[in-house]
């Protein structure tokens, strides 16, 4: 058994003779000198400090109010060591304010406090230190109580703007500030909310308000999904500890519209001349409308018979071979091109100049209605009565509101995928052409065919008849 340190024994005896605050200061000053000199171990110093605390309590009970010099009190507090990982409290250099010192992820943190070098100030500082150590243990790196919805939104928009896939980003015409339409719907509802105040109940109230405004469930879900990504980003950046549950609304089943076989030629015949190349490219390749309208001649590689898209929706380039009718259409468009317009698909204005194709909703619907691929329906209210458009002037007659139902341009992409599946084309190769990254999304475009299902059942019957002699005849 090791012998007792003589210095420690003498200090232990000295603590028993503490009769005033001045004695406490003298003992602690001498104890600090012994520790620095190596005569007393830190563990022994901690025990002696506890003895001094007990003696100090006796002094208080006895009513001795003799003041301790400020320097001695400060030295006592600074020399009180804590166990490893519990942090420490010290006076800031050249200041009368206390400072916390603790570690987070191996990095030393020195946090200033507004507390003075008084008994009450040390009590508050110890309380704050315990709170900071608890946050470090729980993985919280900052206080999220002051974090507001606007802070999460701005950080999310900034991160989206810096990403490569930022095609949905818009800029306000007046201020020029970037924004996302799916997030902007939340601004009027959650503006001023603290992040910790947003939960499932508030999300459901937002959904009710949006449905009352006439928005579809799918549109509302896109906004909720955007805010969910906003919260996940804040949690990933350690601004939030908890991400609430975001309830989603049920959505309508995906569209299953396709162009009926035999209607392709009729549709081309009814459309204006400048739209026929657009439809041909969409029908033969399954490309998206935006990709077709933004197609440049620099994307067409004639020697390789390839259309190369450098920037698509999923951010990955892809190559699309062209043959047959598609090659003929491209060569015809190349022969009609104009120097000032490098687009593959264009329209010619009244002055004979080539211009980019914009919205062609009206000629498309007119052609589809004419060949029975679409129809115009009246819009009915909740009471089943027709809804009328707002009057343009007091003397105009009320005009019933209508909507289009039928074939849309994106159905051509769905038609291409469906025909590729039924033709038995390699799925992974078709996905490279269409730009689908996952089979789950790709399969949604492959519409089931009754004839294909009937043929599959016929194959089963034929197999059974050959194998087992099973015949219904």
Angstrom distances, CA of residue 30 to CA of 12, 39, 52, 278: 12, 11, 12, 92
Selection from 66-80, 313-327, 351-365, 427-441 with the highest mean pLDDT: 351-365
What pLDDT score was predicted for residue 65?
37
pLDDT value at 5 more than 60 = no
3-state secondary structure 373-427: CEEEEECECCCCCECECCCCCCCCCCCECEEEEECCCHHHHHHHHHHHHHHCCCH
Would you say 449 and 418 are in contact if contact means Cβ atoms under 8 Å apart? yes
**In degrees rounded to 5, what are phi and psi of residue 99?**
-135, 135
Structure token pair of residue 237:
């950046």
Q: Output the average pLDDT for the chain.
A: 78
What is the C-alpha separation between 208 and 204, in angstroms, rounded? 6
Report the sign of the C-alpha dihedral through residues 81, 85, 89, 94, in that order. positive
Characterize the bridge pairing of strands 169-171 and 374-378: unpaired
97-139 pLDDT tens trace: 888 888 877 777 777 788 888 889 899 888 888 887 887 776 6
**What single string gives the DSSP state of each residue in 138-150?**
HT--S--TT-BHH
Written as six digits, the tokens of 191 are 């503006």
Distance CA 403, CA 381 (A): 13
* pLDDT at site 423: 82
pTM > 0.75: no
Location of structure tokens 């047959």: 324
Q: 3-state DSSP call for residue 307?
A: strand
User: Which whole-number Å values give the CA distances from 18 to 24, 281, 333, 418, in the listed order?
Assistant: 6, 97, 103, 93
- Provide the β-strand partners of residue 341: 338
Give the C-alpha distances (Å, rounded to integers) separating 268 from 213, 265, 280.
38, 5, 8
What confidence tier does 24 reach under pLDDT thresholds 50, 70, 90?
low
pLDDT tens-place string over residues 245-256: 999 988 777 677
Tell me what pLDDT residue 280 has: 94
**Is residue 60 scored above 60 in pLDDT?**
no
């Amino acid at each position: 058994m090791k012998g007792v340190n003589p210095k420690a024994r003498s200090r232990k005896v000295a603590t028993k003779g503490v009769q005033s605050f001045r004695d406490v200061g003298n003992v602690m000053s001498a104890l600090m000198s012994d520790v620095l000199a190596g005569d007393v171990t830190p563990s022994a110093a901690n025990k002696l400090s506890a003895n001094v605390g007990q003696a100090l309590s006796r002094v208080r009970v006895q009513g001795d109010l003799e003041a301790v010099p400020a320097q001695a009190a400060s030295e006592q507090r600074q020399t009180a060591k804590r166990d490893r990982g519990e942090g420490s409290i010290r006076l800031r250099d050249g200041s009368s304010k206390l400072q916390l010192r603790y570690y987070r992820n191996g990095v030393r943190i020195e946090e200033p406090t507004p507390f003075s070098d008084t008994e009450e100030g040390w009590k508050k500082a110890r309380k704050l230190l315990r709170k900071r150590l608890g946050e470090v243990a729980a993985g919280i790196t900052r206080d999220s109580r002051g974090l507001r919805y606007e802070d999460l939104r701005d950080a999310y928009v900034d991160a989206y703007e810096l990403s490569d896939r930022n095609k949905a980003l818009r800029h306000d015409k007046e201020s020029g500030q970037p924004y996302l339409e799916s997030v902007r719907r939340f601004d009027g509802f959650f503006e001023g909310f603290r992040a910790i105040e947003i939960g499932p109940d508030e999300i459901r109230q937002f959904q009710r308000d949006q449905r009352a405004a006439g928005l579809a469930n799918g549109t509302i879900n896109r906004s909720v999904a955007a805010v969910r990504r906003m919260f996940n980003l804040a949690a990933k950046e350690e601004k939030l500890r908890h991400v609430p549950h975001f309830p989603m609304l049920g959505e309508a089943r995906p569209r299953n519209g396709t162009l009926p076989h035999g209607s392709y030629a009729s549709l081309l015949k009814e459309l204006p001349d400048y739209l026929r190349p657009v439809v041909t490219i969409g029908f033969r390749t399954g490309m998206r409308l935006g990709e077709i309208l933004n197609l440049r001649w620099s994307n067409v590689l004639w020697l390789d018979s390839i259309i190369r898209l450098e920037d698509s929706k999923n951010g990955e380039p892809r190559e699309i071979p062209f043959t047959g009718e598609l090659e003929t259409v491209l060569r015809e468009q190349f022969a009609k091109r104009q120097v000032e317009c490098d687009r593959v698909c264009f329209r010619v204005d009244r002055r004979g100049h080539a211009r980019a194709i914009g919205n062609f909703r009206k000629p498309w619907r007119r052609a589809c209605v004419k060949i029975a691929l679409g129809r115009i329906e009246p819009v009915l209210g909740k009471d089943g009565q027709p809804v009328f458009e707002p009057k343009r002037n007091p003397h105009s007659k009320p005009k019933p509101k209508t909507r289009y139902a039928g074939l849309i341009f994106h159905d051509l992409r769905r038609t291409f995928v469906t025909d590729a599946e039924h033709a038995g084309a390699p799925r992974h190769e078709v996905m490279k052409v269409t730009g689908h990254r996952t089979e789950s999304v790709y399969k949604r475009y492959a519409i089931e065919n009754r004839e294909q299902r009937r043929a599959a059942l016929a194959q089963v019957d034929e197999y059974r008849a050959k194998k087992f002699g099973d015949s219904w005849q």
